[in-house]
Amino acid sequence: MVVIKAKSMGFCKGARDSIKGVKDLIVERKQISVFGELLHNKKVIDNLKKIGIGFVEPNPDVVVKGKLVIRAHGISNALMKKLKEKNDVIDLTCPKVYKIHALANFYEKKGYHIVYLGKANHPEAEGTLGNLKNYTLVTNLNDAKQIKKKKIAFIAMSTCQISKFNEIANYFKENKLDPIIINTICESTRAHQDSAKKLSEKSDVMVIIGGKQSSNTKELFELCKKITPSIWLENPEEIKKYECLIKNAKTVGLTAGASTPDEDIEELFTLLEVINNKRA
């Protein structure tokens, strides 16, 4: 059995910057609380709690001692303003998310109906759409086909599936007059998905590791399972439950979501090698 790692996987720049940001505050001996989960990975959150980083429910009326940190997913302008009234806020919103906010606001002011490909109740989607009045959230092509508005601008959550975005974009090009279409899926997501797709095409089994609340990990899993049998794990030890499936494979592909730490990837790779050695 050969285990092959995807060329692009694991922490994106936004995740690394967020973790570094809160750790730097701890080093400065500042008391901090994060507004919601910093990222969707239980192990990472648990490790941050161990070094003194607090987490609060994303309640608009929250008041904390010390610093209140806004995670990479971002929040709406109105919510930011309200939180700043009673808290010392540090904003760690990913710059690429802010770019999506700016594009959505710009085209709405130009009179366009914003069509947003994303996930309902996801914090990034709530932050972007919270700034808008004239929008429709879509999750698939069928949703897009229900839109009657003629003047539309189409954008996406930064972690959406590229193929889904392209499918809807092509529909709008054929059925709307001069639609504005901007692929706002971040470069890291695109690279992860492209790498996972190529690896799936030459693997008997794909193993995807990442938090079960992680939107980008879910998209990787959905992409891979259309091509080859795929396993989605939240932590490396879970691979032991799939030993029989793994042992029968000649080639196993390994990829990881953007909130998966390097150590989890390496531990999983080692466990796959252990399973392989049992065959010898």
State phi, psi for 209 to the nearest 5 degrees: -115, 135
Choosing from 37, 124, 219, 234, the catalytic residue is 124
- Concerning whether 124 is annotated as a catalytic residue, the answer is yes
Please give the structure tokens belonging to residue 205: 């089994």
* Beta strand extents in the chain (DSSP E only): 2-5, 32-35, 54-56, 67-70, 88-91, 113-117, 135-138, 152-156, 180-181, 205-209, 230-233, 251-256
Please give the structure tokens belonging to residue 10: 């694991």
Question: Could you tell me if 4 and 203 are in contact, meaning their C-beta atoms sit under 8 angstroms apart?
Answer: yes
Please give the structure tokens belonging to residue 53: 């980083």
Strand partners, 88: 67
* Beta strand extents in 71-219 (DSSP E only): 88-91, 113-117, 135-138, 152-156, 180-181, 205-209
> What element of type H or E holds 166?
helix 162-175
How far is Cα 129 from Cα 138, in angstroms, rounded to an integer? 12
State phi, psi for 93 to the nearest 5 degrees: -55, 135
Q: Residues with catalytic annotation?
A: 124
